[in-house]
Structure 1
Amino acid sequence: MSEQDQPSTGFDQLLNFTLPDRDARGRVVRLGPVLDTILSAHSYPAPIRCLLAEALTVTALLGSLLKDQGSQMTVQAQTKGGVVDLLVCDYRNGELRGYVRHDRARLDELGPAPSLFALFGEGYLAITFDLAATGQRYQGVVPLEGNSLAEACEKYFYQSEQVPTLIRVGIANSATGCIAGGLLLQHLPEGEEGRERLHVQLDHAEWEHVSVLSGSVKAQELVDPALDLETLVWRLFHEEREVRVEAGTALSRGCRCTIEHYRDVLSRFAAVDREDMKNDDGLIVVDCAFCSREFEINL
């Protein structure tokens, strides 16, 4: 890989890379217009915007690990009595969506930069992979501990997948919008596919080496629009004998709400239940939290 020969990857597209000599694979992404579109669905206060931006970045990175069309990855954080009582994001075929439900009055009492614990209290993070090819579902649940959602996701891979994983996220807000960038690196000593592991070998020499290199990435590098993703990977790993990069999936806002979809869902309810759902005009009103739209269904 040479820095000069690579095409330029900018906003809203994943970049995949592998380090063959180190048995490692990675993903890097920078969200821009897609992120602004998702955030604009609700008038989120600044701390919630940052939280959702981080969650969407992590979702894009984890979702990019899916191999089959139609597969979906979902990140869901919930608490009992937390300022944030629900955060949910998902990824399918390059489509991202996300939503946060929170108590605005209690949030205002926390100040401009609340910690993860202040937002969630004693919560948990559930990560679910729904595989289209086999119909299988895999889910892991970990406590919402640490300083960030990224740290909680690292713990998920440690506990549920037995794959050493490093995740870094940067977020920048400006008058023109929000930018978020992220990097994911994993050690797969049995190759890209890997195999069942009996334990996580975090002290593996190859993993120690590449995790130190990746951990040196700065938040401002992840969100710098003047720094394309190929150059960022080159900066981190230019001393390696071989670095393979491949353009990943282009990302878009993926709310899948349509009248047809909701009509199909509602048709599965008993007729008497559908009658109870109707308003005075004889319509069933469905409110999509992801895109903040209401759909009037006539059944």
Structure 2
Amino acid sequence: MTDPITTDTDRALGFTIPQRHARGRIVRLGPVLDTILAAHAYPPAIEALLAEALTLAALIGSTLKDAGGQLTMQAQTQNGIVTLLVCDYRGGELRGYVQYDAERLAAGPEEPSLFALFGAGYLAITFDQATTGERYQGIVPLDGSSLSEAAEHYFLQSEQIPTLVRVGVGRAADGKRVAGGLLLQHLPEGEDGRERLHTRLDHPEWEHVAILGGTMAADELADPALPLETLVWRLFNEEEEVRLHGETAFARGCRCSPDYIAQVLGKFPPSEQQAMADENGVIFVDCAFCATKFPVPAASEIVT
């Protein structure tokens, strides 16, 4: 009897290379990704797009030191097939969805370009710090070949940190989606780096790290049979020291609930609630993230 194949999914692993002044994070999504995608039955091109976006959210969001902090990624379009893409990360939980024009998608090629999907669109990455209440956002145009390339531009433009991002999206043996990602960053002033605006770009050791990171293939990142530690070893086994740390487990997280929906609707006066209700006096609210329908009885108007 052969041993079952071990799968390594739904987690992230952080690492640093002290002598190269670099840090990295590698992630792989499996069942969590499949659960999020299955809620909407997306066509393959949209499925792959959201899989890439969720992988980026996992890569970047899991670097937050604030346990209650949130990362939100939003891509909007100008005359593209996709009208809105949103995904976020908070405390290991991921969620996301895509709005798109099904007719235009069906009329185009099987694998549309990023420009076909978004036109002259942009990617906004927002960090919300729960402890301090601070929020900061960076916006970059979607003028590259992938969302991953736009994420690289975000770090270079908004934070002035040389960054390499690689994402691979594939399918497991059972046909379900699997995706993996690699994030490498140059921090010349130690593992925590300096203030973002003062990070220097001219350290030669970064080129060495980036070249090694660029050899990571998409199918390796998306192969659930390859442990994340093995991928780090493949890239950097000749380095003097590589420190592993910062493991994060992922789960699908949608923050909708009947109580929350009822609380939001309760802010509307009874007359407006009645206008939203069906013939039975029930308001149906759809969650865009998990596609769950919530029936909420509308408040009755008070007759005096």
TM-score, normalization: structure 2?
0.91
What is aligned with 1:88?
A: 86
Give, as a single letter, the amino acid of the residue that structure 2 aligns with 1:156: Y
Unpaired runs of 5+ residues, structure 2, are 1-5, 300-304
Q: 2:155 is matched with which residue: 146, 150, 157? A: 157
Give, as a single letter, the amino acid of the residue that structure 1 aligns with 2:203: H
Q: Secondary structure at the match of 1:284?
A: strand
User: What is the deviation of 1:243?
Assistant: 0.4
Contact in 1 for aligned 2:179/2:221 (Cα 8 Å): yes
What is aligned with 2:178?
A: 179
In the alignment, the residues of structure 1 paired with residue 240 and residue 19 of structure 2 have an alpha-carbon distance, to the nearest angstrom, of: 8
In the alignment, the residues of structure 1 paired with residue 132 and residue 154 of structure 2 have an alpha-carbon distance, to the nearest angstrom, of: 22
* Deviation per residue, 1:154-173 (Å, 9 max, x gap): 11111111111110001113
Q: Secondary structure at the match of 1:211?
A: helix
Instruction: Say how many residue pairs are matched.
Output: 292
In the alignment, the residues of structure 2 paired with residue 244 and residue 110 of structure 1 have an alpha-carbon distance, to the nearest angstrom, of: 46
Which structure would you say has the larger Rg?
A: 2
Give, as a single letter, the amino acid of the residue that structure 2 aligns with 1:237: F
- Which is worse superposed, 30-39 or 241-250? 241-250
- Which is worse superposed, 153-162 or 265-274? 265-274
In the alignment, the residues of structure 1 paired with residue 168 and residue 199 of structure 2 have an alpha-carbon distance, to the nearest angstrom, of: 27
User: What is the deviation of 1:277?
Assistant: 2.7
Q: Is 1:268–2:267 an aligned residue pair?
A: yes
Distance 1:163 1:54, change over 3 A: same
In the alignment, the residues of structure 2 paired with residue 39 and residue 16 of structure 1 have an alpha-carbon distance, to the nearest angstrom, of: 26
In the alignment, the residues of structure 1 paired with residue 70 and residue 63 of structure 2 have an alpha-carbon distance, to the nearest angstrom, of: 10
What is aligned with 1:217?
A: 216
* Deviation per residue, 1:29-75 (Å, 9 max, x gap): 11111111011011211111110110010010010111122211000
TM-score, normalization: structure 1?
0.93
Give, as a single letter, the amino acid of the residue that structure 2 aligns with 1:26: G
Contact in 1 for aligned 2:14/2:245 (Cα 8 Å): yes
In the alignment, the residues of structure 2 paired with residue 294 and residue 210 of structure 1 have an alpha-carbon distance, to the nearest angstrom, of: 47
Give, as a single letter, the amino acid of the residue that structure 2 aligns with 1:84: V
Contact in 2 for aligned 1:9/1:230 (Cα 8 Å): no
Unpaired runs of 5+ residues, structure 1, are 1-7
In the alignment, the residues of structure 2 paired with residue 272 and residue 70 of structure 1 have an alpha-carbon distance, to the nearest angstrom, of: 37
What is aligned with 1:55?
A: 53
In the alignment, the residues of structure 2 paired with residue 288 and residue 212 of structure 1 have an alpha-carbon distance, to the nearest angstrom, of: 42
Give, as a single letter, the amino acid of the residue that structure 1 aligns with 2:183: L
Seq. identity, %: 62
- Mapping of residues 1-299 of structure 1, within 5 Å: 10-173=8-171, 176-198=175-197, 201-246=200-245, 248-298=247-297, 299=299
In the alignment, the residues of structure 2 paired with residue 227 and residue 82 of structure 1 have an alpha-carbon distance, to the nearest angstrom, of: 36
In the alignment, the residues of structure 1 paired with residue 199 and residue 217 of structure 2 have an alpha-carbon distance, to the nearest angstrom, of: 26
Report runs of 4+ in structure 1 exceeding 6 Å deviation.
Answer: none
In the alignment, the residues of structure 1 paired with residue 228 and residue 197 of structure 2 have an alpha-carbon distance, to the nearest angstrom, of: 34
Q: Secondary structure at the match of 2:131?
A: coil
Aligned CA-pair RMSD? 1.7
In the alignment, the residues of structure 1 paired with residue 196 and residue 95 of structure 2 have an alpha-carbon distance, to the nearest angstrom, of: 32
